Amino acid sequence: MTAVSKPCGVSEPIHFYTKSGPYFKLSNFAPFGFELDGKYWPTVEHFFQVQKFKDAAHRERIRDAPTPKGARELGQTRKIRSVQIGRSRAMR
């Protein structure tokens, strides 16, 4: 059996979900906002959750959520946009 080498000498998984961990900066919840198309996004999680919806008012509620956890919760409260329904019908 051939041994599989780890990329870049990494021998353990990188965990980035704990705020106190060394890799938290890689998390969607990391507090690094950015501007895109004239809108400010507090975290990547805010941006990610908004992509699920067409309703402009709900998208703004998610973008304005005070925390990434709040953005995630709002992103899990409604049906995902109808584009996905069209995709599943096309795959039949």
CATH number reported for the structural domain that contains residue 45 in this entry = 1.10.357.40
| Cα-Cα end-to-end distance for the chain | 41
What digits encode the pLDDT tens for the residues 24-63? 999 999 999 999 999 999 999 999 999 999 999 999 999 9
Tally the domains of the chain: 1
Residue 8 lies in a domain: no
Q: Name the residue range of residue 73's domain.
A: 29-90
Residue 46 lies in a domain: yes
Smallest Cα–Cα separation from 46: which of 65, 27, 25, 23? 65
User: Does residue 23 register a pLDDT over 80?
Assistant: yes
Whole-angstrom Cα distance, residue 35 to residue 53?
19
Residue 23 lies in a domain: no
User: Does residue 9 register a pLDDT over 70?
Assistant: no
Residue 20 lies in a domain: no
